[in-house]
Structure 1
């Protein structure tokens, strides 16, 4: 995407992923709602059909779209969400052509491992509920 972005960027993330939730916590602190809207696809009321993508597709790779309807995925979704949050210094390496293939490989590896990382402590553990049961103990 070479043109000026049409904010806000709507980022679809998996709130059940402990590492993802930590990143979202940072983005939420840094970004205004005029630039970044965050949608947790793990919530029971999330309706993937409204996005034009299946929930499985959204879970397999990070997805985001701008106000003009343009979609970005994977590292580009990360890049633009970090830019929306004013984290341009962190985002810059994602644009470096020499580094991009290595980062893409690392991202694909993370996507494969992500479903198996639920054992990691979740930053919102005491506030998250699954199967109509809430975990009152924070494992951090």
Structure 2
């Protein structure tokens, strides 16, 4: 038990050490736990990806890949989220495997996304594989990165106890991310969206949350 506890403590130390070295690219904390030997590869991957502004590109024209393998449901109202989305978009130009879906868009349809409504997806990162399987949290990030040739970033999270620790760290971030990033509470956001829907759509049945 003592050995196991020491291993867990050491793993936790690694997580917090690397957390300081990464920018928060996502609206959901991205716990990239990478061994020292991977640092050079990581730098090259990011340099070859995105250095653009973090301004959300909500109005960007983007065609859905014909042979996509996974959907990324993201919050287009969050600049931190858009950092990672923009990086993955650039990588995806080569692979065409990710279908990006902005849940903050008025056109977002839960029916087209395994019944996942706005409130649910705001709770944590969700991704939908082409076979309909839904993955969340760290696993979602791992699957998304694998589809654009960056699977090595999350390889270590497949092993225990690192995997469980990464999940725990992510869960804490997902719970408090709105507060940490200075945004209103989820309840306030939902109320504002509801009001906006009423003002925009009136009695139209086509407008959905």
Could you state the TM-score of these two structures normalised by the residue count of structure 1? 0.73
Tell me how many residue pairs correspond in the alignment. Answer: 117
Q: Which structure shows the higher strand fraction?
A: 1
Paired position in structure 2 for 1:136: none
Where structure 2 has 5 or more consecutive residues not aligned to the other structure, the ranges are 1-66, 184-195, 197-209
**Following TM superposition, by how much is the alpha carbon of 1:48 offset from its aligned partner in structure 2, in angstroms?**
2.4
Paired position in structure 2 for 1:16: 77
Asked if structure 1 preserves the Cα contact closer than 8 Å seen for 2:72 and 2:126, the reply is: yes
| Structure having the higher Rg | 2
Distance in 2 (alpha carbons) for counterparts of 1:118 and 1:49 = 29
**Following TM superposition, by how much is the alpha carbon of 1:7 offset from its aligned partner in structure 2, in angstroms?**
4.9
Paired position in structure 2 for 1:37: 99
Distance in 2 (alpha carbons) for counterparts of 1:117 and 1:46 = 26
Cα RMSD of the aligned pairs, angstroms, is 2.3
| Higher RCO (CA < 8 A, seq sep 6+) | 1
**Following TM superposition, by how much is the alpha carbon of 1:119 offset from its aligned partner in structure 2, in angstroms?**
4.1
Where structure 1 has 5 or more consecutive residues not aligned to the other structure, the ranges are 1-5, 121-130, 132-140
Q: Which structure shows the higher helix fraction?
A: 2
> Helix, strand or coil: the match of 1:46?
coil
Could you state the TM-score of these two structures normalised by the residue count of structure 2? 0.50
Paired position in structure 2 for 1:83: 146
**Following TM superposition, by how much is the alpha carbon of 1:39 offset from its aligned partner in structure 2, in angstroms?**
0.6
Paired position in structure 1 for 2:158: 95
